[in-house]
Amino acid sequence: MATKRTDQASADPQTPEPAASQAAGQAADQVADQAADVADQEELRAYIERFADVLTDTGFPRMPARVFVALITSPAGRLTSAELASLLRISPAAVSGAVRYLSTVQLVGREREPGSRRDRYRVFDDVWRDALLKRDAMLSRWETSLTEGIHMLGPDSPAAARLGESLHFFSFVRRELPLLLERYYREREALAAHQR
């Protein structure tokens, strides 16, 4: 008979659900949310690997590429070593080596987590712009070396002609880079004004 009453009570729309049933429903919702989070994490991991492959194909070392993409795709642009290791499923030593490389090329920085002794690694705002500006200094050094080579080889040699073509290209890029960045900033400001 108790079973019959329970069936009747659950069939009656005005009868409130028992607390155990509500708790089970909430637990099922939490499990569903966690499953969605796991699916999102797997999708993020797959994207990180694809983007890291692109960077690796252009000469970026593999592990720093993965860490860089993980940082640039994180909501705050900041992650701890433990968070990076967990997300990428790598060892803390691998994170340390990757961060060391990324710090050396000035793509990421280290900061102290407030109220903690743990470090967080962050990707710099305007990271691509900064990378291009650093290339300007590198291009200047290349131009100096190319000019030296042209003088050493003599202006009429085929090798000097090749070096001269490279010198012309790098000089052009250095001259145009500030103008390109200026156009970019104007476009970025116009886009931001339009989105307000």
Distance CA 103, CA 109 (A): 6
The edge-to-edge listing of strands for the beta sheet with 108-112 is 78-80, 119-123, 108-112
Torsion on CA atoms 127, 129, 132, 136, rounded to nearest 10: -120
This prediction has a pTM of 0.66
Q: Assign a CATH topology to domain 37-124.
A: Arc Repressor Mutant, subunit A (1.10.10)
List average pLDDT for each run of 10 residues in the chain, which is 196 residues long: 47 52 55 62 93 94 96 92 94 95 90 82 83 79 93 90 93 89 90 88
- End-to-end CA, the chain: 65
Q: What is the pLDDT of residue 181?
A: 86
Distance CA 85, CA 6 (A): 50
Contacts of 87 (CB under 8 A, 6+ apart): 41, 44, 45, 48, 70, 79
